[in-house]
Structure 1
Amino acid sequence: MAWNEPGSGKQRDPWKDNGGGKNDLDDAIQRIKGAFGRLFGGGGGAPGAGRNGGGVLLAIIGLLIAWVLFDSWVQVNAGKEAVVLRFGEYSRTMPPGFNLKWPRPIESASEVNVQEVRNISDTVRMLTRDENIVQVEFNVQYEVADSTLFLYATRDPDQTLKQAAESAVREVIGTSKLDAIMPDQRVEPLEGEKPVANPSAELAQQAKKVLQQTLERYHAGLQVNDLNFQNVRPPQEVKDSFDDAISAREDRQRASNVADAYAKRVVPEARGEAARILAEAQGYKAERIAKAEGDAQRFDLIASQYRAAPEVTRKRLYLETMQQVVSGTPKIIDFTGGKNLLQIPVPAAGPPPPSADAAAAMSAAESDKGGR
């Protein structure tokens, strides 16, 4: 029959014997207390001493239970990881969420934010390859790639990254000339150089690559997301000299622009004038050739007419020549009654020279007179 079955006549306690005597659980606890009392407080002694030893033992057991309960689990927040060490040696990495572990000092857990984007900024002075001093302000953005290496590979990973970043920037700047770092400060142009859209960005990418390689050699557990040069300028001590150089470069550029504008205006005019003169010369050449050919043909015709009628042709040529000569002379004085004419040229007007036809006709007439 069950201990609490109805109709049994009385309520029975399961922790007591059937006879309603001594409590079994209390007896068991008392036996455990006695055993631990003998263990920690000696085998014999007063009953009060045994009870005191049992209270200390219970306190110790409670502390052990609380220690196990409250130090055997870890709640890892989102975006973080927990690195677990067992007796100081790496054991595992806990993901975000509720995780169990052995209580300390057996196992310990250290959380690391692996999604936080960290950044550092610094300003350094350094020498370029052509021994010029520049002041560079740079910024590095990075995040944790390996939480274990981040915690235990280096003493101070953030300081390690800062020093490695400065070293990478010095390496890139030290192997570049000032004209390539600051093209706006350039005084003399570089022949055959290809223009770069953003030289600072290109140098920053080179420095980022060098920095990442350095961190991988150090096993720092960091990933560089971005490195950029916020400002690259000459130091304050030499800023006036750079400003003078920039002013000189701007003056030279201004003079060059004025010269280019003048050349663009004058050269087309000169080319047009040269083309006009050449066209006039070619026209004059064609005119003289055509006139010479016409005079030659006319002379051939006159010669053929002269051979057919010498007297008539000679007289006609003489009259035509005299008409041409006299028509251009302002004054003519006749001293012989029409037999001879005296020409008096006037310097102001000046008679035109005889044409080629007249000269040829007169030459032919004189030769004909001599022949007769």
Structure 2
Amino acid sequence: MSWNEPGGDKKDPWSGRGDQKGPPDLDEAIRTLQEKLGKIFGGGGGGGDGNNGGAPSQFNPANIIKNLGYVAGIAIGLWGLTGFYIVDEGNHGVETRFGRYIGTTQSGLNWHIPAPFERVDIVNVKKNRVIEVGFSSRSAEQSVANDALMLTKDENIVDVRLGVQYQIKDAKDFMFNMANPEATLIQVTKSAERSVIGSSTMDFVLTEGRSEIVTRIKKEIQNVLDSYKSGLQVTSVNLQDAQPPEQVQNAFADAIKAREDQQRLINEAEAYSNAVVPEARGAAARKEQEAEGYKQQVIAQAEGETSRFTKLLGEYTKAPEVTKKRLYLESMETVLSSTSNVMIDVKAGNNVMYLPLDKIMQQQQAQQPSISSNPVVSSDSNSNLRTSHSQAAVEEAAAAERAVSSRGRENDARGR
């Protein structure tokens, strides 16, 4: 039966006290604890015989201090290892000692005095952060009327929606100089936007001035942030939309259409002008050149004729009869060389007429004339054969001869 059942021997198999009755001895429990502590810290047990029992163990102070030093060293080493930290690429670590700024660490493995003395805050300086003014991409209501409606220089209202992207350029300023950097940036953006829009006209904002307005807003925002030493860098400002209020959009669309039609007509007129004006200027320049050429030609021809007549007058003064006859022959040659009529002097005693038919045929083939009738040749024993053309040529030659004769007589009179 069990030791604790009725009728058992009441012996505790774990106590080892045999037949001992009653509670355990307090002195014996203390002595056992001292022995165990002595083994841990290297203390020796006291001597004595088995009948009297062993004396209490004595503590060794040197061993205790040594062991406590080991334990303290291990604890300090483990505490020091907790000061190692890794900063990922694109992040900066801001170290503070009791809340005061110590330094900024770059990416890689770094160490600081562990808590509670120092603390490290990791700041992502490469992340692009975005704020929205005048609209919200996370809300069903795309336009925020209080922030989107703005008054322009010409007292018109426009609906402007702006998105600003920014990064952290200085982790220290970002951590310590502003309590809420994003809220501050939103307020600065609203102020800069209203300042720029308020100094511009409505047409400039809605049409050709978008890029200039974005540049001015970005510059003004950055100037204010730098004056605050916020540690923020504005990377881009995006004008999401700029339009008149919904109530007047239809009228504004009509105005834009009319303006576009006006510009189209202006462009067409300019294109027509660019096509016609140079052509007219070219034609005018060509006429001027032709007139100038004709002027030079007439002047040169007149000068040549004058020079020739002067020289001819000198020759006539020297030999009037010879010069007169030579002029007559040259005039007749010039007149008759351009006609196909043939003149025959029957007084020469040879009335046989020779016609160069081969040359006449070659001339006709070259000019491709349409021959309707052969030339009529009439003979008269008392006069030369003439045609109507030859008669006119002779009359012109006679007039030239008379003019030369009268000029010669005048020169003779001057000579006398």
The question of 1:267 aligning with 2:281 is answered yes
> What one-letter code is carried by the residue in structure 2 that aligns with 1:22?
I
| Cα shift readout 1:64-118 (whole Å, capped 9, x = no counterpart) | xxxxx9xx999898547578796xxx44579788984349xxx999876554321
SS of the residue 1:247 aligns to: helix
The answer for the alignment partner of 2:131 in structure 1 is 120
The question of 1:158 aligning with 2:165 is answered no
Choose which of 199, 214, 227 in structure 2 pairs with 1:217. 227
Q: Specify whether residues 109 and 286 from structure 1 end up closer, same or farther in structure 2 by C-alpha distance, changes over 3 A only.
A: closer
Aligned residue pairs, count: 269
5+ residue gaps, structure 2, are 1-24, 35-78, 135-147, 337-391
The question of 1:360 aligning with 2:368 is answered no
Aligned pairs (5 A) from 1:277-292:
277-292=291-306
1:321 and 1:362 in contact (8 A); partners too: no
Higher relative contact order, structure no. (Cα contacts within 8 Å, ≥ 6 residues apart): 1
The question of 1:168 aligning with 2:178 is answered no
> What one-letter code is carried by the residue in structure 1 that aligns with 2:219?
K
| Cα shift readout 1:153-187 (whole Å, capped 9, x = no counterpart) | 555432321221232234344455778767x65xx
> What one-letter code is carried by the residue in structure 2 that aligns with 1:361?
V
> What one-letter code is carried by the residue in structure 2 that aligns with 1:363?
S
Q: Specify whether residues 110 and 359 from structure 1 end up closer, same or farther in structure 2 by C-alpha distance, changes over 3 A only.
A: same
SS of the residue 2:315 aligns to: helix
d(CA) in 2 for partners of 1:120, 1:359? 110
In the superposition, the TM-score normalised over structure 1's length comes to 0.51
The question of 1:226 aligning with 2:236 is answered yes
1:140 and 1:227 in contact (8 A); partners too: yes
2:177 and 2:229 in contact (8 A); partners too: yes
Say which one has the larger Rg.
2
5+ residue gaps, structure 1, are 1-16, 27-68, 186-198, 328-348
The answer for the alignment partner of 1:293 in structure 2 is 307
The question of 1:138 aligning with 2:162 is answered yes
1:130 and 1:177 in contact (8 A); partners too: yes
d(CA) in 2 for partners of 1:155, 1:355? 122
d(CA) in 2 for partners of 1:232, 1:144? 28
2:152 and 2:197 in contact (8 A); partners too: yes
Q: Specify whether residues 278 and 319 from structure 1 end up closer, same or farther in structure 2 by C-alpha distance, changes over 3 A only.
A: closer
d(CA) in 2 for partners of 1:218, 1:355? 113
Matched-pair identity in % = 24
1:318 deviates by 12
d(CA) in 2 for partners of 1:214, 1:24? 77
SS of the residue 2:190 aligns to: helix
Aligned pairs (5 A) from 1:47-196:
78=88, 79=91, 90-92=99-101, 100-102=114-116, 113-123=124-134, 124=148, 126=150, 136-145=160-169, 150=174, 153-154=177-178, 156-175=180-199, 185=208
The answer for the alignment partner of 1:238 in structure 2 is 252
Q: Specify whether residues 92 and 266 from structure 1 end up closer, same or farther in structure 2 by C-alpha distance, changes over 3 A only.
A: same
d(CA) in 1 for partners of 2:155, 2:101? 51
Q: Specify whether residues 367 and 232 from structure 1 end up closer, same or farther in structure 2 by C-alpha distance, changes over 3 A only.
A: same
d(CA) in 2 for partners of 1:295, 1:142? 96
SS of the residue 1:142 aligns to: strand
1:272 deviates by 2.3
In the superposition, the TM-score normalised over structure 2's length comes to 0.46
d(CA) in 1 for partners of 2:413, 2:151? 103
Q: Specify whether residues 369 and 221 from structure 1 end up closer, same or farther in structure 2 by C-alpha distance, changes over 3 A only.
A: closer
1:126 and 1:133 in contact (8 A); partners too: yes
1:128 and 1:178 in contact (8 A); partners too: yes
Choose which of 13, 21, 30 in structure 2 pairs with 1:22. 30
d(CA) in 2 for partners of 1:363, 1:177? 90
Cα-Cα RMSD: 5.6
1:202 deviates by 5.4
1:248 deviates by 1.0
